[in-house]
Structure 1
Amino acid sequence: MSKVNKRKHVMNEALWDDYELPKENQSIVKVLKSRGNNLHEITTPSGEEYLVSMPTKFRKNIWVKRGDYILVEPITEGDKVKAEIVKIMNKDSIKYYKENNVWPKEFDDDKKENTEVNDDDLFTNTNRAHVRAYQSDSDSSDTSECSESD
């Protein structure tokens, strides 16, 4: 099978939502960070953290980023790597799991906390020198302007 055909089949399998509920030995986890070598550090709803591996069929075809939810199945081979990724969750599958009361309640709280955006959390571009003068509340007659040097 050519690389293009393989990628097409893997993407269709990953994106096609079969709406199958997780089996008894599978669990829903959240990705904390990538550790390289197709390993990802995850956290369970109970707060346990460990490594999971990405199967070879997903490698170089699908990427998992921090904050994504995945379905994993435990493996017995390793000490550090305790599970393997079965499915990468998308919005539709998360909605379906919530409707069927399979979604962990601990992960519902994460979404609510992450929706609040603070100005301190935003990225500041330090490549250009911006001079900002803010108008003070006490002196309303002065007008301040923002100037930008190119």
Structure 2
Amino acid sequence: MARLRIINFYRSAYCSAMSEFRLPGEGEILGKVIEMLGDGRFKVICADGQIRVARLPGRLRRRLWLKAGDYVIVALWDFDREKGDIVHKYEKRDVEELKRRGFAEAIEALDSYA
């Protein structure tokens, strides 16, 4: 019984952290998933127009499900700017909030690329 409470506590904490709205920070870029490559890797078109291979870290693999067309935040690697990690997925309501906060041009550009 106590184990179930602990699991539910961590699950609720994780869900609330993933549901809060966030903007791309320093070293992060807005992107759109265009293809699933397998083994937790995705082909992502980024706001700067480059196509990058991004991986889904192990801590998010079973909790975050992605498909082509999803908007994500990609944290670029320091040693290889052509690759990165997917750190956040935007829901549909979050995309509308992004447009209101000044990312409308970036979203339109991503839609025109893909």
Fold-level match, TM-score > 0.5?
A: yes
- Judging by fraction of residues, say which structure has more strand: 2
Of 60, 63, 70 in structure 2, the residue corresponding to residue 61 of structure 1 is: 63
How much does 1:106 deviate? Answer: 4.7
Instruction: Give the conservation status (yes or no) of the 8 Å contact 1:11–1:62.
Output: no
In angstroms, what is the RMSD of aligned CA positions? 2.8
Report matched runs for 1:33-52 at 5 Å. Answer: 33-52=35-54
Structure 1: 4+ residue segments shifted above 6 A:
none
Instruction: Tell whether 2:33 aligns with 1:31.
Output: yes
Q: TM-score, normalised by structure 2?
A: 0.74
CA distance in 2, matches of 1:52, 1:76: 13
Alignment partner, residue 74 of structure 1: 76
Q: Which runs of 5+ in 1 are unaligned?
A: 115-150
CA distance in 2, matches of 1:26, 1:79: 11
Aligned residues: 107
Q: Secondary structure at the match of 1:57?
A: helix
Q: Which of structures 1 and 2 has the bigger CA Rg?
A: 1
Between 1 and 2, higher relative CO (CA 8 Å, sep ≥ 6) is seen in 2
- Judging by fraction of residues, say which structure has more helix: 2
Compared with structure 1, are the counterparts of its residues 47 and 21 closer, same or farther at alpha carbon in structure 2 (3 Å cutoff)?
Answer: closer
Report the identity percentage. 21
